[in-house]
Amino acid sequence: MKETGFLVILCTAPNPETATQIANALVGEHLAACCNIVPGLRSIYSWKGQICNEKEVLIIMKTHTAVYKKIEHRIQEIHPYEVPEILAFSVRDGQADYLKWVGDYVRSD
């Protein structure tokens, strides 16, 4: 399989309101074609020497590699966490019409 140039980005947020704000900004600014907000997440992690157990929501973003740095910057502007989780995964394959739609919507200019 070859690289498609598309990404799926995962980002956790402390609540649905923050996740919605991030998703609206990214889709509204044509940085992501679609953002899914998944409620009911429980995150257990280590932070500054403490084991944390927090309720969070997950944002799943569909976008293009050309705008990754812009997305990262935009999330950091909005996100309340000192170090937000932003993980990008390359899409190795996908339904052609869906990928075309993502590519047509996301602006890299």
Residues 36-63: what's their mean pLDDT? 97
Region 58-87: mean pLDDT is 97
**For the residues 33-55, what does the mean pLDDT come to?**
97
Residue 107 has pLDDT above 90, yes or no: no
Break the chain into its structural domains and give their ranges: 6-105
Residue 34: CA count within 13 A, CB half-sphere: 13
**Residue labelled with tokens 């602006």:** 107
Instruction: Determine the pLDDT at residue 1.
Output: 53
pLDDT at residue 72, rounded to an integer:
98
Asked if residues 17 and 99 have their Cβ atoms less than 8 Å apart, the reply is: no
Q: Which fold has domain 6-105?
A: Alpha-Beta Plaits (3.30.70)
Per-residue pLDDT at 108 = 81
Closest Cα to residue 56, out of 78, 83, 34, 85? 85
Averaged pLDDT, 24-37: 98
Question: What mean pLDDT comes out for the span 23-41?
Answer: 98
Give the pLDDT band (50/70/90) at residue 95. Answer: very high
Verdict on whether the full-model pTM lies above 0.85 = yes
CA distances from 53 to 43, 45, 47 (A): 6, 7, 10
